[in-house]
């Protein structure tokens, strides 16, 4: 009886295991079919059931589940499973996992990390042409981006230098203008001071002359003969005032001299004649 019960239990356990395996295989086929049909949501559901409920450990199944997550744009879940597959003993699956991680990182513009992922993919499988193509394309893209950034930096630096030079030129012109204005103001100030100094000297001279004249008037001193002589106009000045030339003046003087001589001669002859008593003196 005991042997019979044990045999029944053994057959029952084997039957349950067979049934479990059969169900797992059925789910696996259904998940693969949904994946191939592009029904990634159904594929994810069935793959997760296999992993969680049946504890299926299959790298290919995990890769399909990761790809299904990627197709539904759940890159966080996909990248987490790809990361697990990078430790797989299957080098082809490992290469694909690194490749897919590089694609996700590239979409986030994490180009350096993506380049390293593609590089690791090629190390795992040098015949992965898709990974090689992505690696070469991304490497070229990074080099072009670096060149553009360098050119942009150079241009910005050049613009900055030009702006600084322009600002320096404007500051220099402004300084020169201020210096010129200051110089003009200084020259005007010096000229004004000079004019004021000359005006003060003139005033002082006038004041001294007035004081001297006032002193002379108060003391009653006679004016100096030299000053008188200086005040008497010369003969030439008088002739100029009379509008008579020197030649004409000499002729007039000569005529006056001749008349005077004739006068004295006539007077002398009259004095030598006797007076006749019967005639008047004239």
C-alpha 61: how far from chain center? 62
How far, in Å, CA of 37 to CA of 1, rounded?
53
**133: domain range?**
2-142
What pLDDT is attached to residue 254?
79
**How does pLDDT run along the chain (282 residues), one tens digit per residue?**
544 444 444 444 565 777 888 999 999 999 999 999 999 999 999 999 999 999 998 999 999 999 999 999 999 999 999 999 999 999 999 999 999 999 999 999 999 999 999 999 999 999 999 999 999 999 999 999 999 999 999 999 999 889 888 888 888 888 888 888 888 888 887 787 777 766 666 677 677 777 776 665 555 544 455 444 455 556 666 656 666 667 777 777 777 777 777 776 776 666 555 555 554 444
Contact 115, 137 (CB under 8 A): no
Contact 125, 91 (CB under 8 A): yes
Domain tally for the chain? Answer: 1
With respect to residue 208, please indicate whether it lies within any of the assigned structural domains.
Answer: no
Structure tokens at 28: 């696996």
What pLDDT is attached to residue 199?
67
Three-state SS at 7 = helix
With respect to residue 271, please indicate whether it lies within any of the assigned structural domains.
Answer: no
What pLDDT is attached to residue 52?
92
With respect to residue 185, please indicate whether it lies within any of the assigned structural domains.
Answer: no
Can you give the CATH number for the domain in which 76 is found? Answer: 1.25.40.10
Q: Which of 65, 61, 90, 58 is nearest to 80 (CA)?
A: 65
Place of tokens 């004041």: 207
Backbone angles phi, psi at 218, to 5 degrees: -65, -40
How far, in Å, CA of 124 to CA of 98, rounded?
9
With respect to residue 239, please indicate whether it lies within any of the assigned structural domains.
Answer: no
Q: Apex CA 15: angle with CA 14 and CA 18, to 5°?
A: 85
With respect to residue 189, please indicate whether it lies within any of the assigned structural domains.
Answer: no
Polymer length in residues for the chain: 282
Contact 97, 82 (CB under 8 A): yes
């Amino acid at each position: 009886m005991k042997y019979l019960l044990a045999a029944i239990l053994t057959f029952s356990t084997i039957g349950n295991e067979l049934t479990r395996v059969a169900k797992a295989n059925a789910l696996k086929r259904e998940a693969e079919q949904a994946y191939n049909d592009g029904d990634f949501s159904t594929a994810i559901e069935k793959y997760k059931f296999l992993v969680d409920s049946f504890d299926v450990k299959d790298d290919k199944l995990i890769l399909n589940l990761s790809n299904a997550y990627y197709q539904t744009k759940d890159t966080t879940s996909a990248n987490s499973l790809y990361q697990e597959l990078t430790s797989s003993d299957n080098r082809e699956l490992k290469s694909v996992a690194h490749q897919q991680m590089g694609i996700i990182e590239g979409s986030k513009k994490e180009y350096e990390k993506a380049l390293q992922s593609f590089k690791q993919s090629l190390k795992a499988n040098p015949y992965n042409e898709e990974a090689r193509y992505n690696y070469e394309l991304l490497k070229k893209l990074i080099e072009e981006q670096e060149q553009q950034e360098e050119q942009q930096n150079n241009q910005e630096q050049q613009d900055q230098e030009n702006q600084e030079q322009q600002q320096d030129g404007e500051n220099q012109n402004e300084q020169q203008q201020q210096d010129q204005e200051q110089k003009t103001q200084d020259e005007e100030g010096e000229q004004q001071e000079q004019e004021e100094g000359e005006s003060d000297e003139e005033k002082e001279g006038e004041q001294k002359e007035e004081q001297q004249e006032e002193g002379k008037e108060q003391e009653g001193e006679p004016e100096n003969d030299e000053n008188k002589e200086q005040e008497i106009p010369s003969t030439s000045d008088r002739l100029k005032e009379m509008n008579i030339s020197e030649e004409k003046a000499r002729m007039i003087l000569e005529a006056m001299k001749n008349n005077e001589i004739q006068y004295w001669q006539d007077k002398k002859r009259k004095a030598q004649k006797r007076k006749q008593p019967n005639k008047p003196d004239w």
